[in-house]
Amino acid sequence: MSALRRALLGSVFMMATMASAVSAYAAEGEASGTSWADSVQRALAAREQADPTFANPQAKPGHRASQKGMASWYGGRFNHRRTSSGSAFDKLHLTAAHPTAPLGSKLLVTSEETGRSVVVTVNDRGPYSHNRIIDLSQAAAARIGMLNTGVAHVKVEQAPIEVAMASQDDGAESLDSSSVMQFEAAKGRHVRPLQRPRVKRAAHHR
The pLDDT tens digits for 107-160 are 999 999 999 999 999 999 999 887 899 999 999 999 999 999 999 999 999 998
CATH code for position 121: 2.40.40.10
Residue 15 within any structural domain of the chain: yes
Looking at the fold, whether 36 and 104 belong to one and the same domain comes out as: no
My answer on whether 23 and 110 are in the same domain is: no
In sign, the C-alpha dihedral spanning 74, 78, 84, 88 is positive
Residues 94 and 140 in one domain: yes
Collapsing DSSP to helix, strand or coil, 52 comes out as: coil
Per-residue pLDDT of 22-71, as tens digits, reads 344 444 444 445 454 455 455 545 555 555 566 655 555 556 789 999 99
Predicted local distance difference test score (pLDDT) of residue 8: 47
Contact, 166 vs 99, CB < 8 A? no
The H or E element that residue 150 is part of is: none
174 and 114 in one domain? yes
pLDDT band at 195 (very low <50, low <70, confident <90, very high): very low
Are 73 and 37 part of one and the same domain?
Answer: no
Predicted confidence at residue 183, as pLDDT, reads 66
Residue 204 forms part of a structural domain: no
* Full-model pTM: 0.60
The arithmetic mean of pLDDT across residues 176-194, rounded, is 56
Domain count within the chain: 2
Question: Domain span at residue 90?
Answer: 66-186
Distance CA 56, CA 65 (A): 10
Asked if 135 and 99 sit in the same domain, the reply is yes
| The pLDDT of residue 192 is above 80 | no
- Angstrom CA distances, 49 to 54, 90, 130, 131, 133, stand at 11, 30, 18, 17, 15
Q: Are residues 36 and 87 in the same domain?
A: no
Q: Is residue 151 part of a domain?
A: yes
Q: Are residues 37 and 76 in the same domain?
A: no
Asked if 134 and 73 count as a contact pair (C-beta separation under 8 A), the reply is: no
Q: Are β-strands 151-158 and 66-74 bridged in parallel, bridged antiparallel, or unpaired?
A: antiparallel
**CA 187 → CA 76, 137, 167, distances in Å?**
12, 18, 29
